[in-house]
Structure 1
Amino acid sequence: MKISVIIPVYNAEKYIAQAVESCLQFEEVFEIILVEDKSPDNALQVCEKLVEKNNRVKLFQHADKGNHGAGASRNLGLEKATGDFIAFLDADDYYLPNRFDAEKELFKNPEVEGVYGAIGVYYYTEKAKQQFYSLFADRLTTVYKKHAPKEVFRGQLGMLGSFGLFSIIALTIRKSALDKKLSPMMKMHLRLHQDTEFLFRLSYYLDLYPGVLEEAVANRGVHEDNRITQVDSGKVKASISKVLLWTEVKNWAENEPNFPKEELLHIQRMQRSFDIANSSFIKKWGKIFKYLITDFRSIRSGLYNINWRKSLF
C-alpha cells in the first residue's frame, strides 16, 4: 500500500509535529501532505522544519498564500497526492498504532473502495476536558455494527435508527475510486460541515466497508482553540451552518439522476426541519433585540411584559 495522508494546517503549531509523527510510524504511509492555510501562529515555520527532517513530509500552500478553509486545503492536498490510497488527518489529531490494520487486509479485495473505523478522544488540558466532556465524554465515534456497503449511505443520513457515525480521520479511500463521481471533492463554500457533506456523497457513490469499529484507530484532539469551540459558543452560526449543509445535500440529491425517492424525501424533510428551526431561532432573538432597543426604560424599571418574555422560550 502507498498511502497519502492529507493534513490541513491552521493555527496548529502546538500539535502538528505530533500529528506528523503519528503518520511516520507506518511504512504504508508513502507521503504526508501538509497544506498550510495562512495560520496566524508559527505553524508554517514548524511545518518547514518537519519537511527538512523527513522526505516523506511535503508542504504546500494555496496559490495566493491566503486562508481558504479546511475544505479547500483538503482539495489542494488531493490534487497533490500521488499515493494509491488517501487518508485524512486534522493537525491537532493523531493516529494510533492500529490505524491501518484493517485496511491492509480489506484492500486486497479490489471491490473495497473505502474503509472506515472508530475514533477516540484525547483532552490536551484539564480545562478542555471540563469544557467539552459533556460533548465527547470518553466515547468512541463509530458505526455501532458492521453494515453492508449499500446500507452506509442510509445510515449516515439517519435512516437506519441507531447507526452511529464515522469520522473523516478514520477513513481510507482507494484513490482511483475518488475520480468516479466526486467532483468537486470538498465543497469550498461550506466553511463548516464540508467533511460531513463529502462523506454523504462518498457513501452514496462508493462501496465503503467497516474496519476496526470496537476501538479507536485515531484520536480527536480536544483543546480550548478547537473549531468546535467557536461553533458551540455561537449557536446562531451553528444553526445556520446546519441549514447550509442540508440545503447543499438537498440540491445535490435533487439533481442526481435516479436518486432513490425515499432517501430524497428524507433529505428534504431534514432540510426543512433545520430551516424552520433556524428561522424560529432568528425570529425569537430578533424580537428580543428589537424590544431591548425600543423599550429599554421599561426593562430597567422592571415593568416589561412577563407573559411576552415567557412566550419566547
Structure 2
Amino acid sequence: MKISVIIPVYNAENYILQAVKSALQFDEVFEVILVEDKSPDNALQVCQKLAKEYDRVILYQHPDKQNHGAGASRNLGMQKATGDFIAFLDADDYYLSNRFDAEKELFQNPEVEGVYGAIGVHYYSQRAKEQYYQLFEERLTTVYKEHAPEDVFPGLLNMRGSFGLFSLDGLTIRKSSLSKLGAFFKTSLRLHQDTEFIFRLSYYLHLYPGTLNNAVAVRGVHENNRITQVDIGKIKPSSTRILLWTEVNNWAKNEGSIPTDIKKHIERTLRSFQIAEASIPKKWGMITKYLFTDYRSIKSGLYNINFRRYLL
C-alpha cells in the first residue's frame, strides 16, 4: 500500500508535530501532505521544519497563500497526492498504532473502495475536558456493527435504526475511486464539509467496516476546536446545519439515481432544522427535529448535546 495522508493545518503549531509523527510510524504511509492555510500562529514555520527534517513530509500552501478553509485545503492535498490510497488527519488529532491494520487486509479486495474505523477522544487540558466532556465524554465515535456497503449511506442518514457514524480520521479511500464523486469537499460550506463529503462518498463508493470496537485514531479536544464551539452553542448550531442539509438536499434532487424515499427523508431532515431555527419556541423545534432522527445514533455524534439543552 502507498498511502497519502492529508493534513490541513490552521492554528495548530502546538499539535502538528504529534500528528505528523503518528502518521510517519507506518511504512505504508508513502507521504504526509501538509496544507498550511495561512495560520495566525507559527504553524507554517513548524511545517517548514518538518518538511526539511522528513523526506516523506511535503508542504503546500494555496497559490495565493491566503486562508481558504479545511475543505479547500483537503481538496488541494488530494490533487497533489501521489499515493494509491488517501487518508485524512486533522492537525490536532493523531493516529494509533493499529490505524491501518484492517485496511492492509481489506484493500486486497479490489471491490473495496473505502474503509472506515472508530476514533477515540483525548483532552489536551483539564479546562478542555471541563468545557467539552458533555459533548464527547470518553466514548468512541463509531458505527455500531458491521454493515454491507449499500447500507452505509441510508445508515448515516438515520434511516435504518441505530447506525452510528465515523470520522475522516478513521477513513481510508482508494484514490482511483474518487473520480466517481465529481467534486471533492464543498468549499461553499464554512463548517460540516466533512459530513457532506462522507454522505456523498458513502453513496457513490463501496465503503467497508474496518476496526469498529477500538479506536484507530484520536480526536484531540482543546479550547480552540472549531466544531466543538459550534456544538456547545458558541456558534448557532441550527444555522450551520441548515446550510449543510440544504447542500445535501440540492445534491439529492439533482442525483437521479437516489431513491424517492431517501430524497424525502433528506427533505424532512432539512425541514426539521428549519423548524428548529424558526420563531416557534426552541424546545418544540428541537423536539420536532428529534422525531426525524435516531437517538442512539445521535448520541455517538454531535446533535444530542443540543437536544438535551433545549429540551430540558
TM-score (norm 2): 0.89
Q: Residue by residue, what CA displacement relative to the aligned partner does 1:47-71 show, whole Å, maximum 9, x if unpaired?
A: 0000011010000001110011000
RMSD: 1.5
Partner of 2:258: 259
Aligned-pair distance for 1:258?
2.5
Structure 1 segment 292-303 matched on structure 2, within 5 A: none
Q: Residue by residue, what CA displacement relative to the aligned partner does 1:103-148 show, whole Å, maximum 9, x if unpaired?
A: 0000000000000000000111011111111100100000000000
Aligned-pair distance for 1:237?
2.9
User: Structure 1 counterpart of 2:37, which letter?
Assistant: D
Aligned-pair distance for 1:190?
0.3
Q: Specify the SS of the correspondent of 1:280.
A: coil
Bigger Cα displacement from structure 2, 271-280 vs 226-235? 226-235
Aligned-pair distance for 1:162?
0.9
Partner of 2:201: 202
- C-alpha distance in 1 between matches for 2:254 and 2:224: 38
Q: Indicate if the aligned counterparts of 2:8 and 2:73 stay in contact, CA closer than 8 A.
A: yes
1:7 and 2:14 are equivalent in the alignment:
no
Partner of 2:75: 75
Structure 1 segment 163-312 matched on structure 2, within 5 A: 163-180=163-180, 182-234=181-233, 237-280=236-279
User: Structure 2 counterpart of 1:197, which letter?
Assistant: E
- C-alpha distance in 1 between matches for 2:126 and 2:58: 33
- C-alpha distance in 2 between matches for 1:30 and 1:123: 29
Q: Indicate if the aligned counterparts of 2:120 and 2:217 stay in contact, CA closer than 8 A.
A: yes
- C-alpha distance in 2 between matches for 1:73 and 1:280: 37
Distance 1:125 1:235, change over 3 A: closer
Distance 1:283 1:232, change over 3 A: closer
Q: Residue by residue, what CA displacement relative to the aligned partner does 1:200-231 show, whole Å, maximum 9, x if unpaired?
A: 00000000000000000000000011112431
Aligned residues: 284
Q: Residue by residue, what CA displacement relative to the aligned partner does 1:175-212 show, whole Å, maximum 9, x if unpaired?
A: 000112x1210000101000000000000000000000
1:118 and 2:118 are equivalent in the alignment:
yes
Q: Indicate if the aligned counterparts of 2:276 and 2:282 stay in contact, CA closer than 8 A.
A: no
- C-alpha distance in 1 between matches for 2:119 and 2:223: 19
Partner of 2:291: none
Q: Indicate if the aligned counterparts of 2:142 and 2:165 stay in contact, CA closer than 8 A.
A: yes
- C-alpha distance in 2 between matches for 1:227 and 1:64: 24
Aligned-pair distance for 1:281?
6.9
Q: Percent identity?
A: 72
- C-alpha distance in 1 between matches for 2:97 and 2:185: 28
User: Structure 2 counterpart of 1:18, which letter?
Assistant: Q
Question: Is there any run of 5+ residues in structure 1 with no aligned partner, and where?
Answer: 285-312
Distance 1:229 1:179, change over 3 A: same
Q: Indicate if the aligned counterparts of 1:8 and 1:74 stay in contact, CA closer than 8 A.
A: yes
- C-alpha distance in 2 between matches for 1:54 and 1:140: 32
TM-score (norm 1): 0.88
User: Structure 1 counterpart of 2:271, which letter?
Assistant: R
- C-alpha distance in 2 between matches for 1:235 and 1:94: 25
Partner of 2:298: none
Q: Indicate if the aligned counterparts of 1:236 and 1:281 stay in contact, CA closer than 8 A.
A: no
Partner of 1:29: 29
Aligned-pair distance for 1:26?
0.1
Bigger Rg over Cα:
1
The structure 1 segments of at least 4 consecutive aligned residues displaced by more than 6 Å after TM superposition are: 281-284
